[in-house]
Amino acid sequence: MVKSSTNNYMSTFSHVFAGVLGGLSAFAAIGLFSAIFFGIGYYLIIHYNKKNTKPLEELQFGQYIGILFCIIACLPWLQYFFMGFLYNAGDYAFDSLFSSE
């Protein structure tokens, strides 16, 4: 009887471990996707830069493609920007509703 309860704990632990590992793997895949696309975009921006100018000062067609790659790389993380922005906006609105001024 003790052996079956230990087996249940081990089975639960293995399921939880697999779930956590799957979640971490998903974030690692998103990070790898972002790093690759942003690296390609940065390379294109630097490669197609005119000589003796700052990068993005006089844009060439290849640099536009590089900017597009950088924007695509940032898309998975855009939700966190909006979550933080809207959290602070909601906090400000709540404070302004109930302030005594």
Structure confidence at residue 6 (pLDDT): 63
Predicted confidence (pLDDT) at residue 100 exceeds the cutoff of 90? no
Domain residue ranges of the chain, discontinuous segments joined by +: 30-97
Give per-residue pLDDT as tens, 32-82: 999 999 999 999 999 999 988 898 888 899 999 999 999 999 999 998 888
pTM for the whole structure: 0.72
44, amino acid identity: L
Structure confidence at residue 68 (pLDDT): 97
Structure confidence at residue 2 (pLDDT): 46
The gap from C-alpha 48 to its chain's centroid, in whole angstroms, comes to 27
